Amino acid sequence: MNGNILECITEQYHSLTRSGKKLADFIFANTSTTQYLSISTLAEQSGVSEASITRFCHGLGLSGYNDFKLALAKADYVTDLGDPSHSPETITSEDSLNNIFHKLHASNILSLNETLELIDERNVEKAVDLLSEADRVFCFGQGGSMVMAMEAWARFSTASSRFIHIEDSHMQAMNIALATSKDVILFFSYSGSTKDMEDIMNIAKKQGIPIILITHFSKSRAAEFADVILLCGYNESPLQSGSVAAKVGQLFLIECLFYVFCKRNPELFAAARSATAEAIARKLL
């Protein structure tokens, strides 16, 4: 596809199917918000099937829905620094340093507030039940979400040795192929829609391994595999991939899980945290 995606849709509009026109109408009316939607949410809100959306994307010469969202984000008005312009937290090169700092602060606070509103106590309890009873907990993610998986592993490693982090997706698949239903996967995926994620989860389901998913989209592809879903706040544009604000909400969820986990057996985990702190203290100057 060459040029602006909205112009391409306009040019092809009269040759689209009935569902294609229905989808196009929704996109034209909701250009700014569509780029933040998962394919399942777009299907639900526009009234067409996910298959119709995929065919629509291919008809525009795109590889799939994620490629479409990126093209749509580029077509929407963006600042000279590449961020979407329709948010009050958007930063431009004209902002003073003080304005930049305040806008970033506002973004992070927004992420925390939205995540707090989305927290379901029952799901947190279910997640901690799985973490507490597991022989091993595999902390997984890919790309920016891999960083969050590492954060979870590092945090929980101060209280328990059962948490494991593996970066490489091939090694993740190999380990899950040998895991059992007594193990658990704590999976981080903001979008909930990646090929490596789906590969891992398919293997996990065959092995009967419970999956705890931390994501932004409750109806993403990953959510179909998950036993427990915890939602993080903040709408991240495809052009903002890897934003700190999106990670802040996930860090907050990690901390919530950690303290509820330790609350189950306070004396045991207090002793473990003391032991790990002493071990690290010896390395400090």
Domain ranges of the chain: 5-75, 118-281
* Domain 5-75, CATH: 1.10.10.10
Pick the more confident residue, 83 or 272.
272
* Domain 118-281, CATH: 3.40.50.10490
The answer to whether 236 touches 111, Cβ cutoff 8 Å, is no
Task: Provide Rg for the chain, Cα atoms.
Answer: 21
pLDDT at 2 over 60: no
Which neighbouring-strand residues pair with 84?
78
Average pLDDT over residues 48-71: 91
CA distance 25 to 10: 10
Lowest mean pLDDT among 21-35, 78-92, 109-123: 78-92
Average pLDDT over residues 98-108: 93
Residue 206: pLDDT band (50, 70, 90) is: very high
The answer to whether 176 touches 185, Cβ cutoff 8 Å, is yes
pLDDT at 87 over 70: no
Q: What is the pLDDT of residue 140?
A: 97
Q: How far is CA 187 from the centre of its chain?
A: 9
Whether 5-75 and 118-281 share one fold: the answer is: no
Cα–Cα distances in angstroms (integers) from residue 52 to residues 61, 73, 156, 198, in the given order: 14, 20, 43, 21
Lowest mean pLDDT among 127-131, 163-167, 216-220: 216-220
pLDDT at 153 over 90: yes
- Give the dihedral of Cα atoms 242, 244, 246, 248; nearest 10 deg: 140
The pairing of beta strand 211-215 with beta strand 228-231: parallel
Look up residue 85 and give its amino acid: S
Q: What is the pLDDT of residue 202?
A: 95
Q: What is the pLDDT of residue 33?
A: 79
Q: What is the pLDDT of residue 85?
A: 59
pLDDT at 126 over 90: yes
Residue 180: pLDDT band (50, 70, 90) is: very high
